[in-house]
Amino acid sequence: MVEAEGVREFSDNKLLRKITLYLVIISIIVGVAWAITGHYFEPTLQFEVLGIVTNLLLTVALISIYAIIADNESVQSIEAQKQTDFQEKQTTLNEKVATIQERQNELIEANHMPELTPLELYAKETTNGDDVLVVVLKNEGNGLAKKLALSTKLCVRQKYQDIELSLPINQYLKKSFRQVPEGINPKWTALVSHTTIDTGKGSEPLQAGEQKEYEAKAEFNEDAIDMGQGLVTVDTHAFSDVLSRVESGNTLELTLTIYYEDILGEDYNVKIYEGEFEAEKRMSLKEALDVP
């Protein structure tokens, strides 16, 4: 685009120079004609002859100027067409590059796709009352899995007008069938390996073909609406603490899900447990998983 503007500016300057040159030449010719006719003609006739010469010169000049303008526009049109052709070629080239890059990403992804499978699953309770899930995972894919995390989801079965519903714990505790963002919600907690869970160390990756034991806290966030920041987490609760708020005798559905990413940042979710149990006032994750 800058190059095309430069071409147009150059052509305009060239046209202006040509017009100026023609005007100078006409002025010189008219001056010479005036001087010559002064010697051979009477003043009245001199003006007539000079008028004829001037009109003739102006007509020739106008024809020449129109020809120059037409030629200039033709040059600009050719340059504009060249610029358009160049942009079309550039667009086609960019599309080919994008297609090649997309194909390369597909090949990379095909060669680096993890697939996690749970081999063993149980829960334990720490001395400070935390509910901890222990899971042995094997990566049966051909790519590294990173940023492993656990989500614990609880739903409570309720009857409404003879219809049995499965209410997320958030809606149950609010005694509402309305979907609301604030309240008690599942929390993603890092799966940790080769260290105690209390260190806060981030999740360790799992190589293709590798098998490893991980631990993660089963926790829930308590979220609230802040007028300035939107939805914010104000507290964290253990699985047993949330379960203690459910009336005994209710049937609960427990879903454990693991999240992870491949080396390209693509995310995956795999459910490692789905089951149900009857709530008791004081019940740990271990007891919930042990229910036959």
The tens digit of pLDDT for each residue in 159-191 reads: 877 888 888 998 888 876 666 677 888 999 999
Question: pTM higher than 0.85, yes or no?
Answer: no
Q: Where are the alpha helices (DSSP H) in the chain?
A: 2-40, 43-111, 169-173, 239-243, 285-290
Count of all residues that appear for the chain in the document? 292
Please check the confidence at residue 119 and state whether its pLDDT lies above 60: yes
150 has pLDDT over 90? yes
Q: How many Cβ atoms are within 10 Å of 207's Cβ, its own excluded?
A: 12
**Does position 78 have pLDDT exceeding 90, yes or no?**
no
Per-residue pLDDT band at 196 (split at 50, 70, 90): very low
The structure tokens listed for 32 are: 């010479």
| Measured distance CA(106)–CA(63) in Å, rounded | 64
Per DSSP, the three-state class of 201 is: coil
Q: Strand pairing partners for 215?
A: 134, 192
- Is the domain 116-290 a CATH 2.70.50 member? yes
Residue 114 phi, psi (nearest 5): -75, 160
CB 192 within 8 A of CB 215: yes
Read off the pLDDT of residues 230-281 as tens digits, 9 standing for 90 and up.
Answer: 888 889 989 988 988 888 888 999 999 999 999 888 899 999 999 999 888 7
pLDDT tier at 46 (50, 70, 90 boundaries)?
low
Q: Does pLDDT of 2 surpass 50?
A: no
Angle CA 196–186–116, to nearest 5 = 60
The pLDDT assigned to 153 comes to 94
Contact of 133 with 189, CB cutoff 8 Å: no
Q: Would you tell me how many other CB atoms lie within 10 Å of the CB of residue 223?
A: 20
Print burial letters for 141-152: b (CB count within 10 Å at least 16), e (below 16). Answer: bebbbbbbbbbb
Residues 6+ apart with CB under 8 A from 175: none
Q: Highest mean pLDDT: which of 5-14, 67-76, 192-201, 235-244?
A: 235-244
Instruction: Estimate to the nearest angstrom the gap between the alpha carbon of 103 and the chain centroid.
Output: 19
